[in-house]
Structure 1
């Protein structure tokens, strides 16, 4: 039985994810919104003063002019200090992120880039700076209540609101950055992104079974863009193109594979290939893997962190145990789910796109092979791997226990060869969910 994704793919989902992987879009949009907010506030100020002057409420206008003069000093101070504050805060933050990437893995920088609190904080800081500069242009030298045309009362109040919001976000941003320097929150973030991607994408059947049900392969479409890592595919657009052409498209490389220009990326089954223009912007290639559709990236990152922790230069087996906790959690989430392919259907339920994803054995090898090889000199890690495998054996159906038993046997054999003392071998071969509690 083949199970498609739990919901239809949204047409802009690749674009949304690509924008989340950038650090310029949110601040740029924030600056545009700040300019629009200033225009709206200045319009209100103009209408307010005009209404008071038409009502001959010159005393009220004079009071507003006096208030504006008092707030001008505050707005001037805000505009001059905000950019310096932004530079100092984010310089320190970049140093913290660099330290975290050196201790864990360079891939954690992407967590900082995708962090919503980081983007919101920078956006509000820059918006406050721009808004305060624009407010300064609204002040007039005229103090006569009959002659004044604009008093930035609403603009000054909004400036204070933005400053208060900036201070609140600064506290939240510092807290989030400090969490980024801790192992636990980082591996938890990687795990949550992996599980969200898995729930969003769904799974399918076995690769061989799915290919057997496809029409004969008629042609292949070569990659015409730059060389790079296959980030994702625009599922909704490919399904529409295949439906209009009356064919089934099969993605040849997996998400995360490195593709070269001229190598085939799509196989066409059951008819002529779609025109080249119809396939534009359906395959995204970049320089680094993303979580959008990449099932193995989370295990890859957790394995990298564990390997660095087990290196002689770091020698931090407890961090490796924390990573193993999450590796076991991810494997337990897919232990009973069909793997191998993802099938995408059109509105009539006809399969139009077949996408290969890692199988169960691939995921087990990805999560355990390298850590197992490095764990023979650390009884804490070997005990945690054995406990994790035993837990997965309780959850896995019989046909999926083979790779787990293989890794368990290989680990015990490696401990037998490496550890000279019999007592130490027995200790390192005893399963413990905390490693050494």
Structure 2
């Protein structure tokens, strides 16, 4: 249930209806409450020029504010749509999720519409009442209008800022870092989990006596309610091995899980397993780290396309991906085994390892930028930085695979012997970093002096 509520919250937060609706509710509440307070409080004894008004003056002020707020709200909506259209066309549709989660536009539209609705409700109380002067309500409308103008100024500034490539790449990188922090919470150096000492014998026995559960849904697997799955496995005294994980596309009839022993499985358990799956039309980074990776990758490969040819944006994306991989290299990969309170194995769910994330981050960029020396060098620099932090053998093998593919592609695509020599030198440096202890390699990375005889950075002068 918690996973579904979290998914619902993410969907609401990235929509254009939730925050404005909340503002409208607040505006309606004030539209009913403040006129009632005006009837209870006598403002005639106050001589302040800022409080006193007339019935006709109240109508004029409220009508002006109500009409102007609706007009400005339309302008805000138009600017938002233009921004999303430009970002979608230049950087790809994947960046829209990050832009829509920025609630500046939602707050701007919500405050403007709420102020307008509030003014309309207060105007309703002035019908056929020549002696009624809603002093508090009118002054509240003026304060709300001033606040809306301040929000509008910030909104215009935010629109001009968030459409810039570095800002978009930074937002996507922040989402990726948040996914890593959420999905890989344990840092290397802690005690090994109990699941790491599990032998293969119980697993093989389970797989020999298990039945398959298929799915009735179609779409991208956005998440799995692991708590409900673990509870169901415990109540039926079975082991459940998930064949799919968040980010996979599933179709009707796909095998999603194996349940064993087979004799304890029934239709009710199969239905519960299906209900733990959260399926949608697109991927989300809540339980799928590669979703956030692919968003940055799309920005990079679009920037490398001949139509755009913006290598600097591609290098910015590579920098963010490299920084995220450095974080992941220092994290403990979660165990695929989930136990109940009695330390009985109940769920097997394969996590996404470092090698898979590394491949998702660099494979397409390497292929699209294999003819660009600056892009290739920036990829190697990112790999060199990551190599200074890896400690697991399988992580080093994943980096070595990337180095070999870059080596082969560079020998095939670069006829310039000088450029090729620079790339090969950087590849060798990366391999040297992996052969050292992480602390020693990191110190070497911090103290390296890239002089005229050293490898160029692949930046503005690379």
Partner of 2:213: 221
Per the alignment, do residues 260 and 82 of structure 1 end up closer, same or farther by CA in structure 2, a change over 3 Å counting? same
SS in structure 2 opposite 1:292? coil
CA distance in 2, matches of 1:25, 1:181: 23
| Alignment partner of 1:183 out of 159, 165, 168 | 165
CA distance in 2, matches of 1:209, 1:198: 25
How far apart are residue 249 of structure 1 and its match? 3.3
Partner of 1:160: 142
Over the aligned positions, Cα root-mean-square deviation in angstroms equals 3.1
Partner of 1:194: 176
1:235-291 per-residue CA deviation (whole Å, 9 max, x = no partner) reads 333333334333343332121111112223233345425446645753221111111
Misfit runs of 4+, over 6 Å:
8-11, 57-60, 203-212
Partner of 1:240: 231
How far apart are residue 324 of structure 1 and its match? 0.6
- Work out whether residues 332 and 395 of structure 1, in 8 Å CA contact, stay in contact via their aligned partners in 2: yes
Counterparts of 1:18-33 in structure 2, within 5 Å, are 18-33=11-26
| Alignment partner of 1:402 out of 397, 403, 407 | 397
CA distance in 1, matches of 2:152, 2:258: 50
Partner of 2:6: 13
Counterparts of 1:25-104 in structure 2, within 5 Å, are 25-48=18-41, 66-104=53-91
How far apart are residue 323 of structure 1 and its match? 0.6
CA distance in 2, matches of 1:378, 1:196: 31
| RCO higher in structure (CA 8 A, sep ≥6) | 1
- Give the number of aligned pairs: 416
CA distance in 1, matches of 2:83, 2:257: 42
1:41-60 per-residue CA deviation (whole Å, 9 max, x = no partner) reads 222123225xx8xxxx7999
The yes-or-no answer on 1:414 pairing with 2:417 is: no
How far apart are residue 139 of structure 1 and its match? 1.2
SS in structure 2 opposite 1:137? helix
TM value normalised by structure 2: 0.80
The more displaced of 343-352 and 185-194 is: 343-352
CA distance in 1, matches of 2:86, 2:233: 47
- Work out whether residues 202 and 342 of structure 1, in 8 Å CA contact, stay in contact via their aligned partners in 2: no
Counterparts of 1:25-424 in structure 2, within 5 Å, are 25-48=18-41, 66-144=53-131, 148=132, 151-202=133-184, 216=206, 218-225=210-217, 227-270=218-261, 271-273=264-266, 274-275=268-269, 278=272, 281-339=275-333, 341=335, 352-397=346-391, 399=393, 400-424=395-419
How far apart are residue 194 of structure 1 and its match? 1.8
